[in-house]
Structure 1
């Protein structure tokens, strides 16, 4: 995430809730704990998973207020709850549902259908038109293909994603996974599917061939993860949890999931426990994230291969479900960019509008590009036959603003492929800038490596080695006594030798003799003092010079125990000295690195000056 304020026309987007009298109340949502959005919306209707065996309800968006106790239901599933629903993007009156019975049912919303204005004594439930049978266990999620008519995807507890042809009610492709699928999504032109599963893997599949294109490690938390494509790009966004149950947001390259989340890792959101539900708006490049169990809705902008937090809609009303209507149903005159619906814990649905504040009442073409028109780009036969398009058929938002009944249509543009790792070829201006910079700085090819120490740093090492305290310690080493009463005084960090009872001189070294047997002499170890040397051809190396203790014949034999005790103390002093030298050398290396960073900053300033010229 960017840490600095950046210019954006969506910086001041805000969420505006609807008045209470315009909400949908007295609803009976499902009590199932399965992780789905619970509600769906297509601009004309809202689908709600109901608290009943095998049933859900459909609410027309204009029938607001308190619902009666008895309402028409969509019943057809046997032996369990409805887990998910999905509206057909190319037929506003067709909807499919899935449930715990392992079936997918197809429904047609009757004409002049009403949810509120019904006779409570003569309520007729809606019956399904057909079913899709193929999964062996519960079917948890459904999604229609965004470009091809009659193409549906479903995920099940049998660890598979199936691709269906609704015109023939047959399964065309099965994408088999190793664990439970927690979320999946079609890409912009419907040729790929990205999935997340309970084994913490993210996978991208070719829909028509069933080939696994790429996979990699996703969020490491135990709770479920969600996934969505970022419009007409090769980027994916996921929400999930880390090992410590912190909620996260991740950005991925769909061509290579294995290299991990882009931008240096995951974006930390908060420590709440509810699943984050992502929704991406292609027209504004904004990603909306609604958390289950909390009332906040965060919105990010996708730009420059990054997700930038724009703001947050705060609310005290905790949400169980969240749904977003198609873009062509927003209120353009009020500069509404997203129309959403929140399922609250008080069994009501609250409409929520996200608005870009503008003073002008004219059509804002910069925030309303062409949007999906709800028209299929191909049939199911063409799709499974291999036909590929750039994306959905688009309609003019200006025509909708002007009230045109049949807005003009256009085709989607080719996908935007982001490849930040690829090195772009240098332009003529960049080559010229590099040549100018070379002339100004008089750069020449450097064949040898940069020295570890500069001349100033070398002088600092030499000065340290010639300090009085260091010389004193080295001289003490040279003048070690073999007297049995030798002792060390640590108060002033100096070595003080006491005179021996035998009157041995300080300049005498010690030697251990054994009777009637030749034995090697025990000499004082060599004290190594770092010395820095540099050469022109190579990086400087730290060499050592030795200080040997001169040998002389002792006037009397030393006691081995006392000599060993004094030697041990002297060696400890030497070790402390070496550690001090190593510490100072490390500081010099860090100082050298700091100078390199300053040089890079100067080079960056030179680049800026050259760009201005």
Structure 2
């Protein structure tokens, strides 16, 4: 999997109130995170393959930045979130130095998720029931919310990042406005069962949920957050025990449902016509899945009518699954590939914090997606993850107005060094006198 192209997003199908296990434990050394750059080659990963080894506890969640394919955020049981710069090509040695360490939670960090349209905004949620929104460019927390009285199961931003929805162990579905630091809507028990729920925002602003009935049947629902009294749709599925995790494709308005221990993937289309959630098909295989990863739409092969690519994690291997539409034409299929979210952020963190909302900046897939060239990101107090290229200028092209200031600063530094050297010499002389017994 060539991660800087695919930006494979892995999630783990362990229940959040259990001791989470690194979903890659069979191919890496727990608690470290294994990032395999195989460029779609098959075969066993070398046991000595270099890992990302910065966390001191198991990695519970990861999320690739939607605006930079080389930036990865991770949350861990060590109560921290970290942001990593992953090189374009295979790691040649273990990566142990993150760009930013985000410390603000008192318990393990189980959820990390990037803002969909604003640069460098990252949300983290921990077992301390606290939600923190960070500007990772400065390493500073911008917003903290403690409205949840119990463990948070899932968090999903809406399309423009103005709201997010959460599911919680207290069985409530909430819609939060982070900039107002307020819960603007909530629903008690959208699914009557006590097992964990999941919720995601759809493109049109509705909320798709998965949960369990009172009789422990798995169930899905579609809700209008402006009117939580009755569901738009509610559909019972089966009696399996695995929590269903939804992945949403906003371009096709499709939802893929995967569950821990399942050997199948169901997919549905969400429409504005009854029954609103239409069952399409089921992909089945022999082996049950431990987890599932999904590649962003801009990584699919448009020449093969590929609309989705999934990576199914099994006990000892990772199996790619390709979803294609059976068409014979070699021409670009406009109806299959509407413009999709590109890597360019729509706004800066300060603009979002001031109340601005912007939808994702879209790109066409007609010529196939070409990832931008990777740029080295340097730590900066102003903006760590600013991927815009900096202009390198020699002294000959510097602003001449700054030269006197630089010379004055240099002279001050020289004077400071000389004074410190004199002080060091005096201290050494005194020490020598004590040693020789003359003092």
Pair 1:227-2:229 in alignment: no
2:278 equivalent to 1:278:
no
User: How far apart, in 1, do the equivalents of 2:117 and 2:324 lie?
Assistant: 28
Instruction: Report the alpha carbon displacement of residue 50 of structure 1 after superposing the two structures with TM.
Output: 6.9
Q: Which residue of structure 1 lines up, in the alignment, with residue 172 of structure 2? A: 201
Is residue 53–residue 77 contact of structure 1 (8 Å, CA) maintained in 2? no
Shift of 1:260: 3.4
Q: Counterparts of 1:145 and 1:187 in 2: how far apart (Å)?
A: 9
Q: Map 1:198-597; keep pairs closer than 5 Å.
A: 198-217=169-188, 218-231=190-203, 233-257=204-228, 259-263=229-233, 266-304=234-272, 306-344=276-314, 346-389=315-358, 391-400=359-368
Relative distance call for 1:243 and 1:404 in structure 2 (3 A) is closer
CA deviations on 1:419-446 (whole Å, 9 max, x unpaired) are: xxxxxxxxxxxxxxxxxxxxxxxxxxxx
Asked whether the equivalents of residues 13 and 243 of structure 2 are also in contact (C-alpha less than 8 Å), the reply is no
2:89 alignment partner in structure 1: 112
1:50-129 alignment to 2 at 5 Å?
Answer: 52-62=29-39, 63-78=41-56, 80-114=57-91, 123-129=93-99
Q: Which has the higher contact order (CA 8 A, sep 6+)?
A: 2
Alignment length (residue pairs): 357
Q: Partners of 2:141 and 2:289 in 1: how far apart?
A: 35
| Preserved CA contact (<8 Å) 2:21 2:58 | no
Note if contact 1:289-1:298 (Cα within 8 Å) is conserved in structure 2: yes
| Partner secondary structure for residue 397 of structure 1 | coil
- Partner SS, residue 344 of structure 2: coil
Could you tell me how far apart the structure 1 residues matched to 2:59 and 2:99 are?
A: 17
Q: Which residue of 1 aligns with 2:128?
A: 158
Cα displacement (A) at 1:113: 2.7
Alpha-carbon distance in structure 2 between the residues aligned to 1:363 and 1:151: 35
CA distance in 2, matches of 1:293, 1:322: 11
Work out the CA distance in 2 between the residues paired with 1:397 and 1:160. 39
The secondary structure found in structure 1 opposite 2:367 is: helix
For 1:270-300, what per-residue CA distance to the aligned partner results, in whole angstroms no more than 9, with x for missing partners? 1111111101111111111111101110010
Residue 139 (str. 1) matches residue 109 (str. 2): yes
C-alpha separation in 2, matches of 1:230 and 1:290: 17
Q: Residue deviations 1:539-586, cap 9 Å, x none?
A: xxxxxxxxxxxxxxxxxxxxxxxxxxxxxxxxxxxxxxxxxxxxxxxx
Are the aligned partners of 1:335 and 1:355 in contact in 2 as well (CA < 8 Å)?
A: yes
Query: What displacement does 1:91 show?
Result: 1.0
User: Are the structure 2 counterparts of residues 51 and 91 from structure 1 closer, same or farther at C-alpha, using a change threshold of 3 Å?
Assistant: same
Structure 2 match to 1:553? none
- Residues 135-190 of structure 1 show CA distances to partners (whole Å, capped at 9, x for unaligned) of 11111011100100100111111112211111111111122211110001000000
Structure 1 distance, partners of 2:305, 2:328, is 10
Q: Secondary structure of the equivalent of 1:178?
A: coil
Q: Does 1:171 align with 2:162?
A: no
For each residue in 1:2-28, what CA deviation from the matched residue of structure 2 results, as whole angstroms up to 9, or x when unmatched?
xxxxxxxxxxxxxxxx9xxxxxxxxxx
1:31 and 1:212 map into 2 onto residues whose CA distance is 27
Q: Secondary structure at the match of 1:213?
A: strand
- CA shift at 1:48, angstroms? 7.9
Q: CA separation of 1:143/1:50 partners in 2, compared to 1, >3 Å: closer, same or farther?
A: farther
Task: Please state how far the C-alpha of 1:96 moved relative to its aligned partner.
Answer: 1.2
Q: Is the 8 A contact 1:152 1:164 kept in 2?
A: yes
Contact 1:84–1:141 (CA under 8 A) maintained in structure 2: yes
Partner of 1:573: none
- Structure 1 residues 188 and 31, CA gap change in structure 2 (3 angstroms): closer
Report if the CA contact (8 A) 1:103-1:133 is conserved: yes
3-state SS in 2 of match to 1:96: strand
Distance 1:298 1:32 in 2: 19
Gaps of 5+ in 1: 1-17, 19-28, 40-46, 407-613
Q: Is the 8 A contact 1:49 1:56 kept in 2?
A: no
Deviation for aligned residue 1:112: 3.0
What does the per-residue CA deviation read over 1:396-426, in whole Å, with 9 as the maximum and x for residues that have no partner? 111327x8989xxxxxxxxxxxxxxxxxxxx
Task: Report the Cα offset of residue 208 of structure 1.
Answer: 1.4
Seen in structure 2, the aligned counterparts of structure 1 residues 219 and 380 have a Cα distance that, compared at 3 Å, is: same
2:34 alignment partner, SS class: strand
Residues of 2 paired with 1:405 and 1:139: CA distance? 31
Q: Is the 8 A contact 1:215 1:256 kept in 2?
A: no
Q: Which has the higher helix share?
A: 1
- Tell me by how many angstroms 1:31 deviates: 11
RMSD: 2.5
- In 2, the alpha carbon distance for the partners of 1:125 and 1:405 equals 23
Aligned equivalents of 2:25, 2:306: Cα separation in 1: 24
Q: Is the 8 A contact 1:72 1:126 kept in 2?
A: no
For the 8 Å contact 2:59–2:76, the answer to whether it is kept is yes
Q: C-alpha separation between the residues in 2 aligned to 1:260 and 1:84?
A: 33
Label 1:33 to 1:52 Cα distance change in 2 as closer, same or farther (>3 A).
farther
Distance 1:37 1:175, change over 3 A: farther
